[in-house]
Amino acid sequence: MEFPEESAPAPAALQRAVDGRLAFQDTLRQALAQVAAAPRARQLFLCDADFADWPLGERSVVAAFEAWARSHRSLVVIASSFDDLARRHPRWVAWRRQWSHIVDCRLLTDREPAFCPTLLHAPDVCTLRLFDAQRHRGAYTEGDAEADRRALAEFDALAQQSEPGFPVTTLGL
């Protein structure tokens, strides 16, 4: 007698609201720690107008990037300007210099900063999106295939509208 194969039920999607700057930063830290611990997190996408409110320069955040940056990884960072990132997050900039072979920084030149989304996405792991960047209100999701699909489509469109930016080194006198 054969029994039909039972497939494991898909994990329930987790969604929680983000409300406020501190909640946004705490959720970013937690998301990056989760991405660093997830073996399936091969790609990571970050997008913001200038990354001024992101805690990228903190030791724990850079340590999460360090833990994540194993072989066969790729990070795409899209921004309207990298000036604030370079000034506010020197620790992350130094990490990026070491891992430049997996980090693709892209500049949105044809979009006003106000229309640049604030978004972190690790396919099949998690998505953090701010719907109101001024008040830091948004949503964090895990295991939501629809949110995953939307985030990937949005990053694809943004990447097509962007150009390489924020070189690792600058030449000059």
CATH number for the domain harbouring residue 125: 3.30.870.10
What is the pTM (predicted TM-score) of this model?
A: 0.88
- Between 12 and 153, the higher pLDDT residue: 153
Question: Which residues, in sequence order, are CB contacts of 110 under 8 Å at separation 6+?
Answer: 161
Q: Is residue 169 part of a domain?
A: no
- Report pLDDT for 109: 86
9 pLDDT exceeds 80?
Answer: no
Q: How confident is the model at residue 10 (pLDDT cuts 50, 70, 90)?
A: low
Identify the domain containing residue 126 by its residue range: 14-164
Helices 21-37 and 59-68: crossing angle in degrees, nearest 10, is 30
Q: Is residue 172 part of a domain?
A: no
What's the domain count of the chain?
A: 1
Q: Is residue 171 part of a domain?
A: no
- Report pLDDT for 76: 96
- Between 170 and 52, the higher pLDDT residue: 52
71 φ/ψ angles, rounded to the nearest 5 degrees? -60, 150
Q: Is residue 170 part of a domain?
A: no
- Report pLDDT for 46: 97
Q: Is residue 173 part of a domain?
A: no
Average pLDDT over residues 145-158: 93
Q: Is residue 155 part of a domain?
A: yes
Beta strands in the chain (DSSP E): 14-19, 43-48, 74-79, 103-108, 118-122, 126-132, 137-142, 162-164
Q: How confident is the model at residue 54 (pLDDT cuts 50, 70, 90)?
A: very high
Q: How confident is the model at residue 8 (pLDDT cuts 50, 70, 90)?
A: very low
Average pLDDT value over all residues in the chain: 89
Cα angle 101, 160, 49 (rounded to 5 degrees) comes to: 80
Q: Is residue 3 part of a domain?
A: no
Q: Is residue 123 part of a domain?
A: yes
